[in-house]
Chains A and B, each alone.
Chain A
């Protein structure tokens, strides 16, 4: 396409064409969506963690909290109505996030060409976190599937009893491989967040030298909070601080 035709074409696009067409399929647009859905998923992970930490207050508190999610905004909405809205929203965000990541990864692999550098790359800026976004992301996705089967649907947990949230968690984490899988995933989730929370400002175009250092601290704080908060539960179970109640 010559400049003339490209510029005419860009100028002629009306709003919805540019949104549905080039933008959503462009690299920059997909990164933008990854950043937005990343914020949504990060917010969910934080809220989820804060809720789960009630496990340290006691079985009643946790079970009551879990039940309240089902009756959120009831009776304006039917029981579990809001919960399902959240579930649908979260799934959509996860799908967009993963879909964009997959498409961009495939494009990037193609853009690199067949012949790679022979000498070992001397990475100067890229760190372990940014280089494990892809495979860490895959691990997190696999974990989420297991986690749902384990504690939401229950099919991966032989001791599962619907509604008995506290005991389900304790039974699950008493199996050491599950606890280990959980903690390892949290490490990668923390790395994912460490890079993602910093990087999303870049993708959204909000980076500004004035708060660049602040961005780094925000990412560290979020990553550490998620790592420590979430890992505390399986570790506490394994160390025997949390035991089956009733």
Chain B
């Protein structure tokens, strides 16, 4: 094993319960220390982020009787980017009678993650998936139904069963709304205090444990400390490090990064997912990329012209001159191969010059056959809103012209390292949802992000957090005039003033765009040593330039969007470096991490299970010293390690 080659890395203990995998979660729920209902009101908890994982956790903890403070930088807790998930949510209900089970969902997720996730976590995720459907139905999520009134399912990439529950193409919206409404109920009841337009800018630790946060009111600029017995970070992923991604404009890695700098380990930062079905960029001023749900691959066929110089309109290219390359290369899964496989296949086509569209940066997703087979009405019922969205953005009618799609950064499997209890390496600091690294390994399957968000927020965290809290019964939270807080506040103020006082020549976006270019070129869909080493230098140079030449106008005492972004991009400039270091360190290809040096003859990812079957967890050591890489070994008892094959 190469686990301890870097720095003074140690082996991490994920605190997984003993026993057969089916019993682990039950055992943990029984073993964990409890806080009795009358004592819960003595605890103050902080939840940062109000997406599915955050709003869910805040609502669940509020229902249990804890005093919860929930924070979001959005103007409402209904805006988080969970809302944009389109296709659906997986669960092992086996309603369609196609031989699904908890074990199969677990198996598919571990395999889909290219064997870089923790078995026990994934099993738990599959286990609670059914409760998620039950719970969200009870809360009023209007899932698609059959005429008999029962729930409908559809299939999704990376699976051979139909286990995806959906609400048109707006499943994320409907799930977030149930969590938002559950949270609103708790706010109305006075159990949760909600802070909107409030951004966490620092984590406060004392004696090695998390005791609170420092926030900035984005409207007034006021800096405030909030103290609590425990802090939950549910702050999402960091795909915006690429500047152009499918994430919302405000998604950022700041909360997680602040925690990392205070001692929380950051796991697998280089594991990012590039989603295969996005609308290709049209010009340089583009601010974000728009995702088209992966569910489109159920009925759309992906192809490119066989000849690179084919300039005919898609409808004029005869069948014989088309290459349905996914169906050709992966007959068993066809257009439904996992995201990383589909993305890389598209990338290869474009590299061969067979891309389509004005910039030759897309591949076709063609619904002609499905429309002929099922009728236009059926396709409209299934994907109507997606087709409309496509037409709005591109001005092309996908019922007539095949869609053009291209891969775009979409999700980050990496995140704060957490143990089985979702606790980070800082005691009292927990992390749920995309912000943690836990369940998706090196690649996330479609319709699993919603599943993890709800599972962590509604079911896992409320159960495990009492184990930590029980140790602090009758201890008041650290007062906010403690030196730990005042020092953190001062750091935050100094940093804000520093942004404002640079007075250089370029906007925040200018640096962000350049960072994104470096990252997508060198640490995107494929990586190699040379490129990564070059990226390290470029990022370091760009960071130096940023701190010399940034120009942020206005003050810190009012609403100042440039100032908000400056802090986020400053953190991205550090996080990007860690991603590159991690990508360099992991001398294998797995899932979304594709090292050109490590591929099979036909261009598939080649894992190195002997040397890299572990989670990399990085520790901050200071501005000027390299981080230390720790490792959590991954053992696969229930899923045999094989070369993933979707052929």
Footprint of B on A, CB under 8 Å?
2-4
Contact = CB atoms under 8 A, between A and B. Distances in A.
Contacts of B189: 2-4
A3 B184 CA distance: 10
Contacts of B190: 2, 4
Interface of B: 185, 188-190
A198 to B, nearest CB: 29
A210 B185 CA distance: 35
B234 to A, nearest CB: 24
* B interface, over-half SS: helix
B187 to A, nearest CB: 8
- Tell me which of B185, B188, B189, B190 has the highest count of chain A C-beta atoms within 10 A of its own C-beta: B188
Contacts of B185: 3
9 contacts: A2-B188, A2-B189, A2-B190, A3-B185, A3-B188, A3-B189, A4-B188, A4-B189, A4-B190
Given A4-B188, A4-B189, 7 more contacts: A2-B188, A2-B189, A2-B190, A3-B185, A3-B188, A3-B189, A4-B190
Nearest to A4: B189
A11 to B, nearest CB: 15
B190 to A, nearest CB: 6
A120 to B, nearest CB: 26
A2 B188 CA distance: 6
A166 B296 CA distance: 75
A6 to B, nearest CB: 8
A229 B189 CA distance: 59
A3 B190 CA distance: 8
Contacts of A3: 185, 188-189
A3 B185 CA distance: 8
A4 B189 CA distance: 5
A2 B185 CA distance: 10
Nearest to B191: A4
Contacts of B188: 2-4
Contacts of A4: 188-190
A4 B185 CA distance: 9
A67 B76 CA distance: 67
A2 B193 CA distance: 12
A3 B189 CA distance: 6
A31 B127 CA distance: 51
Nearest to B188: A3
Nearest to A3: B188
Contacts of A2: 188-190
B181 to A, nearest CB: 12
B443 to A, nearest CB: 43
A2 B194 CA distance: 14
A141 B185 CA distance: 47
A3 B183 CA distance: 13
A2 to B, nearest CB: 6
